[in-house]
Amino acid sequence: MGMTITEKILARAAGKRVIGPGDNVWVEVDILLTHDVCGPGTIGVFQREFGAAAKVWDPLKVVIIPDHYVFTQDEKAHRNIDSLRYFVDQQKLPYFYDPGTSRYKGVCHVALPEAGHVRPGEVIFGTDSHTCTHGALGAFATGIGNTDAGFIMGTGKLLIKVPKTMRFRVNGSVPPYIMGKDIILKIIGDIGFDGASYFAMEFTGEAIRQLSIEERMTICNMAIEAGGKNGIIEPDEKTFDYVRARTSLPFNAVYGDVDAPVDSERTYDASTLEPCVAEPHVPSHYALARERNDVKLDRAYIGSCTGGKITDFIAAARVLKGHQVTIPTFLVPATVEVAEALIKTEIDGTSLVEIFAVAGCEDIAPPSCAACLGGPPDTYGRTSGNEAVISTTNRNFPGRMGSKLSRIYLASPLTVAASAIRGHITDPREFM
Amino acid sequence: MKTIRGAVYVVQDDIDTDQIIPAQYLNLVPTIPEEYVKLGSYALCGLPDGYPPFVKPGATKADYTIIVGGRNFGCGSSREHAPVCLGAAGVNAVVAESYARIFFRNAVATGELYPFETAIRLCTIFKTGDVAEIDVNGAQLTNLTSNQSYSLKDLGAVAPVVEAGGIFAYARKAGIIK
């Protein structure tokens, strides 16, 4: 009997020929990712348990990307980044992307693959639930807490349960008004906010193959919003082109067996999907954008690991070009690479930066997680009252962007841009 | 027989980690003792208006020892601050219909609290302020206010890990690590 891609990656990492769902296995870790919010606590656990003088198991496999609370006056946030600097120096860790230096990158889940740390077939753990993003490149990737991460720092291993697989086959051709965000919000709407709890979510089908790596990342990023352990897409030539442009390290791509049994399979036709939103306060509150024109908005937000990639800004600019926004529209590129691409990328001879400026958007903010998760009170774009926000981010929980009273509608960058022009939820087809 | 006894605080479905500990307090580091205490003082302060305060203003601990919830408790972020702040506030157990995967694992790995599951929708039966007792090994919850008992799902291999104080303490006790 065959194994799925998730099972095969975990089998390799466990040094076993065959494993199956429900097996508890010790896996060798290829990359441990942490950031400024959970890194200090992880280091605290590591030093408490392995000793103040302990060395990490492999300095080349620990990647530290501060991104959450970077542009703030909060003293503890600064102290936390300082404590990472001290640890990195002490441990001689080469992969630290320090704020305030030319190495700074920004949001860890966009920076990690950009810097070549995500490779097909590998096992990645991160102290952030959106670590599932990296399954978009054919890796097994999932979020863990500080204690598990501290264990990995000391040993390079973790005991995990092999998840069952739910397969989502998306056939058909992806229309120009549909994005990865519409696909994943539809799936989460169907299976529910906890519909994939403990499961691997495997995305396949011709529509998925058509998507860019960045769009695939949007889909895998939100696997956690259905409770999934990991999201995963088999690698193809697009994956290899993306990875080889960013690292010279070798890797072994892994593919599922054709006869691998899965727990369930759902089939979608991308050509029949419509632009959508997730209404407050859970990502499974699916609604069609065209049926929510009555929802008036106070601001629009484009940013985060889910919706702050260059492809997201290109999509928004396609809609905004030649129009004016009527509500404050915040733009936060995920990384420095994305911010630079906003200057270099043009649509019909006009740069994205210029398109956004002419459309009346707020000045482009420096790359970080910013208001996606609220954060310290001085966080850029953070809500403070009962604002209705349409956002390309991943969560619309009460208080997620700061104020408990604000209401967050999740949508694709196309839908966010169209809605920013009208000032109410708008189907982007009105501008395409 | 290990028992947990105390006042109950009742919440509903989909209590996410931003409600358990809002992101603005993630600048606190759980392994720093005074910040561990501080995290406890903010436990569940992100719940929507309408819930009574879990920790009274000015206090560092809650008056509640047991939380009763619905489905998908602890969904969202992988922040270990979530089970940590509940443990720091004095919570010994959560009883819910289901958990988000990472919260459950973090609760066990830190040994901060027992994450019991139940097939019964207790969040519509219990009232905040009820006094209850959990027989940990017998997997039984008794509401001492109403004098009703409910069976819980046995925690199996998870119970001794929490009992030991988390995955490291357990692994040392069991001889898995030095």
In angstroms, the CA A430 to CA B168 distance is 57
The verdict on a CB contact (< 8 Å) between A41 and B80 is: yes
Q: How many CB atoms lie within 10 A of CB A2?
A: 12
- The one-letter amino acid code at A113 reads P
Provide, rounded to the nearest whole percent, the portion of chain B with pLDDT above 70: 100
Reduced to 3 states, what is the DSSP secondary structure of residue A137? helix
- The one-letter amino acid code at A109 reads H
CA of A421: how far to CAs of A10, A297, A298, B23, in Å? Answer: 46, 10, 12, 30
Kindly list the residues from chain B whose CB atom is less than 8 angstroms away from the CB atom of residue A148: 105-106, 109, 167
Q: What angle do CA B80, B82, B86 make, to 5 degrees?
A: 125
Mean residue pLDDT across chain A: 98
**pLDDT tens string A257-288:** 999 999 999 999 999 999 999 999 999 999 99
Work out the pLDDT band at B176, boundaries 50, 70, 90: confident
Question: What is the mean pLDDT of the segment spanning A115-126?
Answer: 98
Angle between helix A310-320 and A413-422 (nearest 10): 30
The verdict on a CB contact (< 8 Å) between B16 and A397 is: yes
**pLDDT tens string B58-89:** 999 999 999 999 999 999 999 999 999 999 99
**pLDDT tens string A144-187:** 999 999 999 999 999 999 999 999 999 999 999 999 999 999 99
Distance between A144 CA and the closest CA of chain B, angstroms:
6
Q: Which helix (H) or strand (E) holds A388?
A: strand A388-391
Encode B93-150 in three state secondary structure. EEEECCECHHHHHHHHHHCCCEEEECCCCHHHCCCCCCEEEEECCCCEEEECCCCEEE
Closest-CA residue of B relative to A394 is B76
Query: Does residue A1 register a pLDDT over 90?
Result: no
Q: What local confidence, expressed as pLDDT, does residue B177 receive?
A: 82
**pLDDT tens string B131-168:** 999 999 999 999 999 999 999 999 999 999 999 999 99
Structure-token pair, residue A425: 């939820």
Chain B contact residues (CB < 8 Å to A): 14, 16, 18-19, 22-24, 26-32, 46-49, 71-72, 75-81, 83, 98, 100-102, 105-106, 109-110, 166-168, 177
Work out the pLDDT band at B120, boundaries 50, 70, 90: very high
Kindly list the residues from chain A whose CB atom is less than 8 angstroms away from the CB atom of residue B20: none
Structure-token pair, residue A430: 């009105």
Provide, rounded to the nearest whole percent, the portion of chain B with pLDDT above 90: 95
Which residues on neighbouring strands pair with residue A94, listed in sequence order? none
Q: What local confidence, expressed as pLDDT, does residue B178 receive?
A: 78
Q: Which of A138, A141, A105 is nearest to A33 (CA)?
A: A141
Phi (first) and psi of residue A276, to 5 degrees: -140, 175
Question: What is the mean pLDDT of the segment spanning B102-107?
Answer: 98
Residue A281 per-residue DSSP state: T
Cα distance from N-terminal residue to C-terminal residue, chain A: 48
Closest-CA residue of A relative to B46 is A399
Note whether B152 and B95 are within 8 A (CB): yes
Q: Which residues of A235-263 are buried (b: 16+ CB within 10 A; e: fewer)?
A: bbebbeebbeeeeeeebebbebeeebebe
The verdict on a CB contact (< 8 Å) between A148 and B167 is: yes
Instruction: Enter the pTM of the model.
Output: 0.98
Work out the pLDDT band at B98, boundaries 50, 70, 90: very high
| Token pair 């019991």: residue | B116
Query: Does residue B1 register a pLDDT over 90?
Result: no
